[in-house]
Chain A
């Protein structure tokens, strides 16, 4: 497939750009933060996104969705990187939908996917238990009992964990930390007895939670997919997560670049525009080239997911490793080239750095994905 957007995808990109610039610009993020918002986003924002069909983009038509595909969704998410827009889009319409679509039974898909598409429910994915992403190291347990399971353990840094209606939880029904086998997925109500949710304040001001599960009893119907075989669907969900984090990081890198380029053409020192200094020109040119590389790999992996290409997992790791690197470069260069004003809270450029790092870190940073890439490549 040619590495270009088709007309519909291009239109979706433009309409997302317009919508986000109007209703969820960077200023909105500041407003939420200053108001001490629990969710991190305005309550009517998600309703508007649902109205536009964004919650339904990855949901198959058979379950009430639009089935518009990853390339389209990627354009929206990239734009949310430019505006630093928080919303349930990632945890619900991407992670939730992918996990349920990949692992769920017919009943679960019918019940949950339609409810996501129509905005009735939101979800969150609870995987990591430490400060470093490592899905094979899951130690939280799910013990079988008559009619269901008992969940015991703790999850950390669950995105949208404070707000989601349903938690998709990875726990062990067998094996030990480090084993791929024995991991199972469960759908658990956030308000179920024994679930304790504690909000964590992070640099990007989004809602994350540390969640403890204290002897939480769930029915058999809560099991998502086959018992002990959750790692496959979990990996597919994490791949999708990393691809969209990459798309968001692309938006962050581009917006940081565009704003900085503008600044290089406005700010004068020594009687000339700072953009006339070759020391800055070369850094800007190199940075621009890195973003060109990022555009290519993000588009490629989105297409690969749409086509069900077997290379999607390795491409996901290539994308996340590359985008983590370039987002770091971009946010650092942006700040440096702005000088002192870049350090102020009043100026927005520093916010891109504060969102980039958590997005880089979530589900594996550059070193994690470089390692994973090498393993998948056979070394």
Chain B
């Protein structure tokens, strides 16, 4: 048996023993996320156990170095772990802006002290992070941000307003972009800083969305003290790091295009809901739409796989995160539009059984944000045109 085969066997055995039964199928109501953090209420003991067991192995961050508590897996092992998790339909043990965004940025740009301080609690799901990038006047044009950090010697005093801060009211810490040099050119005077949301002067106010929930906030910063040792990388050099972090965000959002529908394919759901006639789904036009989606979905999944394989084997860059983000989110929106048609009027019931407690209409509405958050589809197309195609 090769080493990888042995690893697969061990992984399978370990998962078999350690993944609670209830974590192996989709959650009723569709909310499968486990966010962790100081104030997080686990939906069940199983969920808590699953997170903690995976965290103890470092498998909440499988490819991070073991010295910070990560899994230390190489790409091949990581792929095997993902495959084995998918095979038992296991839920993600921990979903976290720490793992998706600030962690990778710290690993690449952070000082040793910052890594030691922040990475282990991220891996253990103890600290939940939020992202303070966007402002009322700075969305797509992020480098136009105006929140200021005034240099006070060993610390900055931050003032300004952030907006669309996802889970700003639930997070423990924020990674935040501040203008720390107002004389410098747009991209030059920005720093990426970290602070505790309990710091005096930080006030997140929830904003209600069309989907009915309030997952994001406007966050006011009034004379917030930010220590200088909490600057990631160099002072005034935060823009490069901010962009690196956005790449990870895009990959993560792009990947959600394939998010699970209770282990069923769109075609299976459609066939069951609408019924078959002579082996074909009733409603030929909708059948065509469903099949077309599944074809695009399959091609997209293969592309994500190919990109990973190309990176692994050292071949060129291939499709970039901008393309995966653009295509994956547009695909996810289309999927929910199709699901809506499959379910007809049932899909628009806001509360009640017909729409699974309003899961479908709410999730459908939420997907509209996919092509806005993390850089809009239009911005991704700009990035592809400029950076990949060289169109000025």
Of A52-60, A86-94, A205-213, A283-291, the one with at least 4 CB within 8 A of chain B? A283-291
Q: Is A322 an interface residue (CB 8 A)?
A: yes
30 A-B contact pairs sorted by A residue (CB < 8 Å): A2-B312, A2-B313, A3-B305, A261-B389, A265-B390, A280-B391, A281-B389, A282-B378, A282-B385, A285-B381, A285-B382, A286-B381, A288-B388, A288-B389, A289-B319, A289-B323, A293-B296, A293-B302, A294-B299, A370-B288, A373-B291, A373-B295, A374-B267, A374-B281, A374-B288, A377-B267, A378-B267, A379-B276, A379-B287, A379-B290
Across the interface, do B287 and A299 meet the contact criterion of CB distance under 8 Å?
A: no
Residue pair A374, B385 in contact (C-beta under 8 Å): no
Q: How far, in whole Å, are A373 and B290 apart by their CA atoms in the complex?
A: 11
- 1/0 per residue, CB under 8 A from B, across A274-313: the answer is 0110101110111011001111110110000000000000
Known contacts A2-B312, A293-B300; is-contact A299 B306 (Cβ 8 Å): yes
Instruction: Write the nearest CB–CB distance from A17 to chain B, whole angstroms.
Output: 16
B291 CB contact (under 8 Å) in A276, A294, A370: A370
B154 to chain A, nearest CB (A): 46
Chain A 1-35, CB within 8 Å of chain B: the 1/0 string? 01110000000000000000000000000000000
The answer to whether B303 touches A293, judged by C-beta atoms less than 8 angstroms apart, is yes
Q: Are B267 and A276 in contact (CB under 8 A)?
A: no
Residue of B nearest to A323 (CB): B299
A371 at the interface (CB under 8 A from B): yes
* Least distance between A288 CB and chain B CB atoms (Å): 6
Chain A residues whose CB sits within 8 angstroms of the CB of B390 once the complex forms: 265
B295→A295 contact, CB < 8 A: no
A264 to B385, CA, bound (A): 11
Q: In chain B, residues 270-288, which have Cβ atoms closer than 8 Å to a Cβ of chain A?
A: 270-271, 276, 279-281, 287-288
Given contacts A318-B299, A373-B295, A374-B280, 20 further A-B contacts (CB under 8 A): A2-B309, A4-B306, A4-B310, A4-B315, A285-B380, A288-B323, A288-B384, A288-B389, A292-B319, A292-B323, A293-B296, A297-B298, A322-B299, A367-B288, A374-B288, A377-B267, A377-B294, A379-B270, A379-B271, A379-B290
A273 at the interface (CB under 8 A from B): yes
- Confirm or deny: B2 has a beta carbon within 8 angstroms of a beta carbon on chain A: no
In the complex, A278→B383 CA distance in Å? Answer: 11
Q: What's the minimum C-beta distance from B387 to chain A, rounded to whole angstroms?
A: 10
Tell me the dominant secondary structure on chain B's binding face. helix
Most A Cβ at <10 Å: residue of B290, B303, B305, B312: B303
Q: Which residues of chain B have C-beta atoms less than 8 A from A375's C-beta? A: 279-280
In the assembly, what is the distance between CA of A379 and CA of B319, in Å? 32
Most chain B beta-carbon neighbours within 10 Å: one of A282, A367, A374: A374
Asked if residues B299 and A370 are in contact (CB atoms below 8 Å), the reply is: no
Give 1 or 0 for each of A257-273: 1 = CB within 8 Å of chain B CB: 00001001100000001
Contact of A371 among B291, B378, B386 (CB under 8 A): B291
Decide yes or no whether A321 CB sits under 8 A from chain B.
Answer: yes
Which of A297, A371, A373 has the most CB atoms of chain B within a 10 A radius of its CB? A297
Instruction: Tell me the complex Cα distance, A28–B108, Å.
Output: 53
Shortest B304–chain A CB gap in Å is 8
Nearest to B274 among chain A residues (CB) is A379
- Determine if B382 and A281 form an interchain contact, defined as CB atoms under 8 angstroms apart: yes
Assembled-state Cα–Cα distance A294/B288 (Å): 20
The answer on a CB contact under 8 Å between A300 and B385 is: no
Q: Which 9 A-B pairs have the closest CB atoms?
A: A281-B385, A285-B384, A296-B302, A3-B306, A379-B271, A293-B299, A374-B291, A2-B309, A296-B303
Q: Which residue from A292, A296, A378 sits with its C-beta under 8 Å from B268?
A: A378
Indicate if the CB atoms of B323 and A374 lie closer than 8 Å: no
Query: Any chain A CB within 8 A of the CB of B153?
Result: no
| Interface contact B292-A370, CB-CB below 8 Å | yes
B294 / chain A contacts, CB cutoff of 8 Å: 373, 377
Size category, A interface: 35 or more
A322 to B295, CA, bound (A): 7
Cα-based distance from A373 to B296 in the complex (angstroms): 12
Cα A4 to Cα B295 with chains together (Å): 21
**Does B28 make an interface contact (CB < 8 A)?**
no
Q: Which residue of A lies closest to B319 (CB)?
A: A292
Chain A positions 349-379 with a Cβ under 8 Å from a chain B Cβ = 367, 370-371, 373-375, 377-379
Contact (Cβ within 8 A) A289 B327: yes
Q: Which of A264, A280, A286, A322 has the most chain B CB within a 10 Å cutoff?
A: A286
B residues in contact with A377, CB < 8 Å:
265, 267, 291, 294
Q: State whether A300 and B309 are in contact (beta carbons under 8 Å apart), knowing that A288-B389, A374-B280 are contacts in the complex.
A: no
Bound Cα distance A289, B310 (Å): 16
A322: B residues at CB distance < 8 A: 295-296, 299
Please provide the chain A residues from 73 to 129 with a CB less than 8 Å away from any CB of chain B in the complex.
none
Q: How far is the CB of B381 from chain A (nearest CB, A)?
A: 4
Are A275 and B391 CB-contacts (below 8 A) given A293-B327, A379-B280?
yes
Which A residues are CB-close (under 8 A) to B312?
Answer: 2
Residue of B with least CB distance to A261 = B389
Q: Does B318 contact A (CB under 8 A)?
A: yes
B106 to chain A, nearest CB (A): 30
User: B136 CB to closest chain A CB, in angstroms?
Assistant: 24
The CA-CA distance from A299 to B318 in the complex, in Å, is: 14
Are B389 and A374 in contact, CB atoms less than 8 angstroms apart?
Answer: no
Q: Which of B318, B381, B385 is in CB contact (< 8 Å) with A292?
A: B318
Does chain A have a CB within 8 A of B352? no
Cβ-closest chain B residue relative to A289: B323
Q: Which of A276, A281, A367, A379 contacts B281 (CB 8 A)?
A: A379
Which A residues lie within 8 Å of B318 (CB)?
292
Q: What are the residues of chain B within 8 A of A297 when measuring CB–CB?
A: 298-299, 302
A285 to B325, CA, bound (A): 13
- Is B344 close to A, CB under 8 A? no
The answer to whether B309 touches A285 (Cβ under 8 A) is no
Nearest-Cβ distance from residue B372 to partner chain A, whole angstroms: 16
Whole-angstrom CA separation of A95 from B386 in the bound complex:
42
Q: Using Cβ atoms and an 8 Å threshold, which residues of chain B touch A378?
A: 267-268, 271
The distance from the CB of B228 to the nearest CB of chain A, in whole angstroms, is: 40
Complex: how many Å from CA A294 to CA B315? 18
Q: How far is the CA of A92 from the CA of B388 in the complex (A)?
A: 39
